């Protein structure tokens, strides 16, 4: 996931969590991406795809929002297997939940030469 720090892009791996058709990232308060998102909510994510010898990707620009809603935080904590590895509880002050709302999506199917624009991400397929 890419964020911006001033005029400098910053990129790091994240674990995207899909829940109820929405995308989230669970992270720590002290992680640099949290401070960067507080200043600029625009992010970009790319997920590489591989099928046999062919590569492709899904890439999307998104708006990232910090979620304070206790019910949503609880739902994601319960749905995420690694939650208790990093956080004591949903009230842990170090636990930050980011909601990603894709605004522009492109998909390059493995073996394709160029990507296609996609209206929305469909997690049922």
* Residue 112, pLDDT score: 84
Contacts 24+ apart (CB under 8 A), 28-33: 28/86, 28/94, 28/95, 28/96, 29/93, 29/94, 29/95, 29/96, 30/94, 31/96, 32/3, 32/5, 33/1, 33/3
Judged by average pLDDT, the poorest of 6-15, 39-48, 112-121 is 112-121
* Residue 51, pLDDT score: 83
What is the residue extent of each domain of the chain? Answer: 2-118
Condensed to tens digits (0 to 9), the pLDDT of residues 28-85 reads 999 999 999 999 999 999 999 888 888 899 999 999 999 999 999 999 999 999 999 9
Fold of the domain built from segment(s) 2-118 = Pnp Oxidase; Chain A (2.30.110)
């Amino acid at each position: 996931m890419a964020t911006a720090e001033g005029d400098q892009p910053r990129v790091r791996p994240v674990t995207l969590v899909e829940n109820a058709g929405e995308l989230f990232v669970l992270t720590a308060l002290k992680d640099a991406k949290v401070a960067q998102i507080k200043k600029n909510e625009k992010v970009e994510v790319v997920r590489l795809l591989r099928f046999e010898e062919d590569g492709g990707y899904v890439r999307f620009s998104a708006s990232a929002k910090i979620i304070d809603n206790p019910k949503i935080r609880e739902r994601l904590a319960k749905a995420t297997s690694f939650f208790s590895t990093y956080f004591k509880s949903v009230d842990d002050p170090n636990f930050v939940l980011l909601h990603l709302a894709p605004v522009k999506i492109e998909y390059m199917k493995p073996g394709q030469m160029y990507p296609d624009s996609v209206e929305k991400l469909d997690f049922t397929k």
